[in-house]
Structures are given as structure tokens and as C-alpha cells.
Chain A
Amino acid sequence: MSISKEILDKIALSRREYQLIVERLGREPSEVELGMFGSLWSEHCGYKHSKALLKHLPLGGQRVMVRPGEENAGVVDIGDGLVLVMKIESHNHPSAIEPYQGAATGVGGIVRDIFTMGARPIALLNSLRFGPLSDLHNRYLFGGVVGGIASYGNCLGIPDMGGEVFFADCYSANPLVNALCLGVAEGKNLVKARAYGEGNLLMLVGADTGRDGLHGASGLASRTFEEERELRPTVQVGNPFLEKLLIEACLELAETDWIAGMQDLGAAGLTSAAVESAARGKGGIEIDVLKVPRREKGMTPYEVMLSESQERMLVIVKKGYQDKVRAVFDHWELHSDVIGQVTVDGLARIKEGEKVVAEVPMNLLTSPPLYRRRVKKPRWLDELQSFNVTSVPDLSPREVGPVLLRLLASPNIASRHSVYRQYDHQVGDNAVVLPGNDAAVLRLKGTKKAISLTTDGNGRYCYLNPYVSGAITVAEAARNSACSGAQPLAITDCLNLGNPERDDIYYQLKECIAGMARACRKLRIPVISGNVSLYNETRDEAIYPTPVVGMVGLIEDVTRHCASGFKEEGDLVFLLGDNRTVDSSLGGSEYLELVHSLVKGSPSIDLDLEKRLHRCCLEAIKRGIINSAHDCSEGGLAVSLAESCLLGGLGFNSRSWNLEGRLDAALFGEAQSRIVVSVAPKLAAKLEAIASKWQVPVRKLGVVGGGRFIIEGYIDLSLEEAREVWWGGLEKYQ
């Protein structure tokens, strides 16, 4: 075999994989064929290291309409004839190289996944990670990514409801940019991504095809990278205006019966769009690359098939409806060209005029080798987890106030308004609870219902304990939904990790998925779609394993929703959930890193309590008993209380709160399964009765009101002072 290592590296295939292709094909692949294999067998498209693990996630459920992988995005039924379509996807590598365009095209890609199914996109969220903002390059990446998301999403007129952003050293060279899109459709209008029906036509719509983005799937997303500047030309440039026209045209088509299917062109471009949709339709395809409209002269068939030019859709037009479909695209001033047809021979046949340049059985392309390995817990992890809290001194009462201010000013906790005010979050006339709360809430016009949306993920926890943190990620997202009054409906997940060919990374991946699966089962929440982003490392330094969960929840009556800020003077403040002070809850906390520069210990969670807590909170909101609900996460209980004050513009006063155990753990420990709620005094007894019904511990903390944040004997801050540091903590870097 004469294939060079250089070529194999370019398409990220191993020599053994190449041999497997030759064996299965019975001959050496042509250049185009090899390129197609490289893309489709990449981790990004083929999930070769993760598929065996991902199948442990619970995928089914009463409301689940399609299983992950069957379509471009997951679908859940919410009654009233409506379905929600949701997916999250990473654009980490492109964003590291070219933050503005990388993030922008990440939004463009995820939006296409949604409207390709006939659903109107109604919300975007983003989960972002960067290195510390003290570094100029990280500020450039942060500003570029937020600007790119804003420029693309705002132009489309899809509200961006926030999400999350965190900072840690490990993301310095490798930021994470995960984009989530949610759409709504009438169930009967759902469009399948299937190419079927002999003689049906393959119509390519939207942008012309150029040389941009070659090897995006196989190169960028499937290997670590060292020489990023060299790769800059592989990042695509987005045209959101064109995408907006595609949305309207494709949604118009979704209401007709003129098309058999639709599939967007994303990673691996025409190759994956054509092959994957034909494989789902159990047929074959024939494409003539000469019919593909080009942006540049002299493109080879290889380049046409692997281009990742943005804003392109493949529409499978039923025989005889070509003119009608074309008229819709003409109205929206979009190019459309028939480039091939559906066949029944099970082959992917690519021609250049009359010359066949690739002819491969479909099933070979779509069945990459799947890897599964036995790995042991790495020893370095034992060391990290064996953290002894007594090795750090407790805080004195005098120190507590200043530490609280430091935490509020930390970019990981400070107000995110300077990010989400750059996103149009109000277009659509649906936003009921805005970004900046535990979960955003959007009402669904024409119904009494609303949905909540949140993304969550804590890489630091996951670095310390991937199994437990997998579970915590799911639990926290569900807790955030519960705080908004929404029953968790479904999850879409994005698993961002390092190189899975390394044992310790594979261990993280495996444990993290197992933990997520356990929490999903316990809380009865299905995973309906997702994405893996592996090889997030530079010079052998991997990022924290960072699972991100996007969750949609359902509120049956939109008037019964809840936000995080205190609402009324005189309300009583209670803590629902675990109220013991456990020293080990300092493990992995923001406090421990910020004040003691330690990333050690191990988080823990009691999923039974978690489940009861959600039910308790949901019942209290449904019955209109509580006025606010905010979960305790980064920064612990003190930060959670302060945030409820700052969001509501009201103070807090606690006179009789006897703090037990270590002060730092009591105030800044990050024990899970806790929600701070406020309630009118006359309804307090009802809240206590609901808590007792669900066997959820409840503890009175204080009273809402005044202009100060007071825990008598420990903290006495003016709200203005707290607001200033919290408001400016992240804003000052933008």
C-alpha cells in the first residue's frame, strides 16, 4: 500500500483504518472516496470512540418522537399538536482559530439542524468557556465569540436566551463554544432528513460551494492542533442574511407535500448530507459535481464533495414537483440547482460529468470502526480527590464579607448582563423570564404553555470526579428548570473532552456518560440529541472534561412561572434541601480556587433528595406559593442569597441564623440539592407543609427587605456596594 502518512494525517485516518477500508472495498479507494471515508469516519461524524458509551444514555420516553441520530435533532411532543425540536453542537476548534466567524457559523449550523426538520427556531443558548480574562488573547477570544454569536443570531431574528460562560486556565488555548437551538413545529409538518424514492431529485439550495472549510470534520474537529494560524483558512465565513432567507423558504416548503426530505450541509458538507440522508432512506444517491454551483474556478470533485461552505441545504424533491419547489426558492431570491437523484442500488455514486469518481456502498461509509477500551481510574485523580479540608484555615467572621465581595466580582459569578445584552433576547414576543435567571422562560403563543431553557456544566467538578459530575450536570439543569416552575422534559448534551485515545481521557468520557445516564434515569429525563467534541487539547494539555447539558422544561400554565430575584419586602426566605454544613462541600468550589488557589476534593450528590427537591419546588410554584426560587451553585449559599437580592433589587436580613460547622463551608460550600426561595409570611406554613410532604428539609434563613445584605454577626454590606462589584465583574473586560 502506497498511501502516505501525510495524506492519512490530513484526513485523520489511521493506517489500520485505511487497511480496513481497502479490505471492505476490495480495492484501494480513489482520492474522492478516501476523502469521504475520512470525513464520515471522523469522530465528529462517526462517533467512533464515543458511540459504544453513548448508548448507555436513556434515549426513549413517552414524549420522545425520534431517537438521537435518526434525525438532525431530537423531538419531543408537548401536546396541542406541537413538538419541540432541540440540539446542541460544539464549534470549539473553529472558534479557537477565528473566534468571530467560528462562533457565528456555529450558530448558523445549529439553526440549520432545527429548521431542516420543518421547525421554526425560537431560541438560542450558548455555553462558553475561556481562559482567564487577565490574558489579552483570552479577552480577544471572548469578545470575538460573543460578537460572532450576536452578529449571526441577531440577524436571524431568533432570540438568544443566554446560557453560561465560565473561565479557567485549561481553556486558554482551547475555548469551548457550544450552541443550542430550539424550534417549534406542528407535529404533522415535521420533515425527515431522508433521501428516498427512486428518481426523486437532489436539489442544492443557498450559497455556492467554495474551498472554505475543507477537512473541517476530519481535520479540525477530530484532532488536537498546534499550529492554529496555519488552519485559519479552514474556518468558514458566515452569511446570516442568506440563512434567514433559507429559514423562511424551507419552512414554507415544510408545509407542502412536494418534498421527501431535507438535510442541511454541515460538517463534511455535501458528503455527509447526501450519504447520511440516503443511508436513513435506505437507498442510494448519484451526484454530478459539475452541477454544483461553484464560488471558485478549478475545484476538483474532492473539493466539491468536502467543502464546508455555509448556508447550504439539500432538498430531496419529489419527482414532478421540481418547478413548484424552485418557485419558492426563487421568491426568496435563492439559488437552487438539481445536482443528482436518489437511486435504489445502495451506492453513493459521485460523477464528474460522465466520469465516475467515487462509487462506494453506502453502508461502508456509515459504519466506521467503533472503539471501546478498558481503562482504569488514573492515579492522579486519587491524589486530587484525597483532599483534606483541614489543610486550609477557616475564615474568621471578619473575613466573610470581603470574601463574599470577591466571589461576586469573580468573572465566574459576576452578572452576565454585558454578554446577553449583546444578544437580541426579546424578538418573537415570547420572553417571559429573561437571561440572567436560573432558566429563561418563553411562552408558546396560541397555548397556555411556556418552556424553560437552561444550559449547565461544571468542568472543574468533572475534572475532580467525572462520574458524580456527570450526574450533577443533569441534576443542576433539572434544578434550574424546577426553579423556573418547569417540569424537565428532555436533554441535549455536548461532551467536550480531550483526546479519547489517551487512557485517562477515555476514562473521563466513560465515567461522565455513566454519571449522566444514572441521573437521567433517576430523574426520568431522556437525552434526545447531542454531540461530542473530543480532541480539545493543545500541546498534550487537555481541557477539563466539560459535559454541557441543555435542558428544556415545560410549564403548563405560563402564569405560574418563577424567577430568581426576590420580589416583595417582608417575604420570608427559606432554604429547601440539604441544610447541613458539610466541610467536604468546599471540594471543587469556586471559593477554594479563588481564595486558596486549589482545585481539589470531590463533589457529591444525593439523587433521591434531588428528585424530591424538584417536586417540592415545582409544587410550590404551581400552587403560587413562592415568589422566587434560585438554586445554590457556584459560590454556595451566600452567593445565591446575594444574587436573589441583586436580581430583585431588595435586601436580605438574617438575625437568628446560627451557622454551624466551618464558616467557609456553611456560606461558600457548594453542596448540591439546595434552592433558596422567598414566600409571603402568611403562606410560609403551606410551604413547610409541601416540603414535609416531599421529605425535603426546610430551614428559615431570614427576611427580604431593606437596602443591605445582612447575616448578623458575619456580613453587613450595602446592596449598592455588592451590586457594583457584581455588575462590573465581567463587564469590565468587555
Chain B
Amino acid sequence: MKFGIVVFPGTWSDRDCYYALNDVLGQEVDYIWHKETDLSKYDCIILPGGFSYGDYLRPGAIARFSPVMASIERFVCQDRLVIGICNGFQVLCEAGLLPGALLRNDHLQYRCQRVQLKVENNSSPFTSQCKGEQVLRMPISHYEGRYYADDVTLAELEANNCVVFRYSTSTGDITEAANPNGSLHNIAGIINKKGNVLGMMPHPERACEPILGSNDGNLIWESIVVHL
């Protein structure tokens, strides 16, 4: 199986994703320049973090028009796996592959810190290796990470078990204090209805070795590998 990491102008988590998957987990990985359109050799596509096109206009608003995005849409229709992290999540929302939007953090500041994530759905292809209600530790790093959707969409997400991760305390309580950016329902990550597209603001690729403070992020990659 093979992972493909999309690189837009301004992407920077591409190298960290590559490191976590290739150096730490021994998986086959390629970079995909945003102008490429042939994704046939990949089993899972990663849209990594960064500031694609400088986040100008709105994060993800320009990147969604890159040539690779049309191919990713087809890729999703073929029920293959796509994961968007941070800026990648923003791109997926802008492209309409996931519902809702990521607004500026409620405190209007950039936030880089370690957070706890409660796994709300461990039956997705991205979380099967997590225990039910497990609390994962990994960092966030964003200015626009406040998940927002209208009431109907939110209700649908909840009803369909599409909320995969919520910001929580270390014991798994979903509190306002544990929410680093004002996301509705403490949402940190969601999947689409079919369950083959995951978007999340926290960075699993930064939690790939104990020396970095956590290797909980590997559970996500390992889940993908098991699924495929």
C-alpha cells in the first residue's frame, strides 16, 4: 500500500507526515505536487498542514482550485481514503468534501499547544486501533481551527456518528476549558457520511515518538494500514 502526501505552495507539514509514515512506521510514501492529477498508485491521500497559498483570502480557499483537487474528488468517490490535517482539513471543507467551516479561533490568536482528544468513534477506518473513548494526546497549531456548522449539519454529524475527535480533559470530559479554539461541540475532527474522508485540526504526525511527548498519532496511521 502507498500513501501520497499532497504539497501545495506553502504546505509545511508534508515533511513531518513523510517522517512519521516512512521513518517511524516504515510505510511507502510519495510527495504529490499540487499540479499532478494521476492518483492511481495511491491507497490513501494526505492533505497536510501548512499555509497553502499563504492562507490568503481564507485558508484553503485557493488551494481547493489546484489541479490535484479534482482528482481527489474522484478518489473520494471511489471510496478510497483521504485524511486532511489542519490546513488539509480547511481545504477539504472549502472543497465541500467535508461539511462545515473552520473559523478564526474565538480568542483571535494563533494557538500551538498540546491538547487531549477523546475518540468518539473508533469504528472508522482512521480510528479502529483506538480504544472506545480513548483520550489521545497530540499538538494543535492553528489560527483558524474553530469548527463551525449550522444546526442542521451539526445534528446530522452527531446523528451519523461523524464526530470522531472532541477536545477533552485528560480524563475524557468534554468541557469548555478543554476547548482551545471555541469549536462547536468541542469538535476536533470529523468524517464524511461514507466514512472515507477524515478532517482533523490536531497534528497526529507530530505525535509519532515518545521523545516528542506522545506517539498517540501513530494509532491513526496504524488504523489506516489495518483498514487497507
Contacts and interface: CB of A to CB of B under 8 A. Distances in A.
A594 to B, nearest CB: 28
Given A150-B110, A155-B51, A443-B211, A244 B206 contact: no
Interface stretch (A35-43, A48-56, A388-396, A423-431): A423-431
A151 B110 CA distance: 8
A155 B141 contact: no
Contact of A244 (B15, B51, B113): B51
Contacts of A429: 16, 19-20, 205-206, 208-209, 212
Given A150-B110, A421-B111, A421-B113, A426 B10 contact: no
Interface string B11-25: 011011001100100
Contacts of A241: 9-10, 51, 53-56
B203 interface: yes
B50 interface: yes
A432 B209 CA distance: 10
A422 B112 contact: yes
Interface in A112-160: 147, 150-151, 154-157
A579 interface: no
Given A157-B13, A241-B56, A558-B211, A425 B51 contact: no
B9 A424 contact: no
B212 A333 contact: no
A502 interface: no
Contacts of A333: 9
A427 B10 CA distance: 14
A332 B203 CA distance: 26
A426 B51 contact: no
Contacts of A156: 12
B10 to A, nearest CB: 5
Given A157-B50, A424-B110, A429-B208, A245 B141 contact: no
B4 interface: no
A432 to B, nearest CB: 6
B216 to A, nearest CB: 14
Interface residues of A, number: 32
A700 B107 CA distance: 44
Nearest to A446: B23
A240 B54 contact: yes
B206 A426 contact: yes
A432 B211 CA distance: 6
B109 interface: yes
Contacts of B203: 426
A154 B110 contact: yes
A443 B211 CA distance: 9
B112 A332 contact: no
Contacts of B23: 445
A445 B20 CA distance: 12
A599 B16 CA distance: 48
Range class of the B interface residue count: 20 to 34
Contact of B12 (A151, A420, A427, A432): A427
Given A422-B110, A558-B211, A428 B54 contact: no
A239 interface: yes
B139 interface: yes
A424 to B, nearest CB: 5
A392 to B, nearest CB: 40
A239 B53 CA distance: 11
Interface in A406-456: 420-429, 431-432, 443, 445
Contacts of B54: 155, 239-242, 244
A443 B210 CA distance: 13
A244 B50 CA distance: 10
A240 B51 contact: yes
A93 to B, nearest CB: 25
A426 B139 contact: yes
A559 B211 CA distance: 8
Interface in B61-116: 109-113
A397 to B, nearest CB: 37
B9 to A, nearest CB: 6
A232 B182 CA distance: 35
Nearest to A561: B211
B12 A244 contact: yes
Interface in A308-352: 332-333
A424 B10 CA distance: 15
B52 to A, nearest CB: 9
Given A424-B110, A424-B112, A157 B12 contact: yes
Nearest to B107: A734
B152 to A, nearest CB: 34
Contacts of A432: 211-212
B206 A445 contact: no
B206 A427 contact: yes
A426 B12 contact: no
A226 B110 CA distance: 33
Given A241-B54, A424-B141, A429-B16, A155 B10 contact: yes
B93 to A, nearest CB: 20
Interface of B: 9-10, 12-13, 15-16, 19-20, 23, 49-51, 53-56, 109-113, 139, 141, 143, 203, 205-206, 208-209, 211-212
9 contacts: A155-B54, A240-B54, A241-B10, A421-B112, A422-B112, A427-B49, A427-B141, A429-B16, A429-B20
Give the 9 A-B residue pairs with the shortest CB-CB distance, closest first: A157-B12, A241-B54, A155-B51, A424-B141, A422-B110, A424-B112, A429-B16, A426-B139, A150-B110
Given A154-B110, A431-B212, 11 more contacts: A147-B109, A157-B12, A157-B50, A239-B54, A241-B51, A242-B54, A244-B10, A332-B9, A422-B111, A424-B110, A428-B15
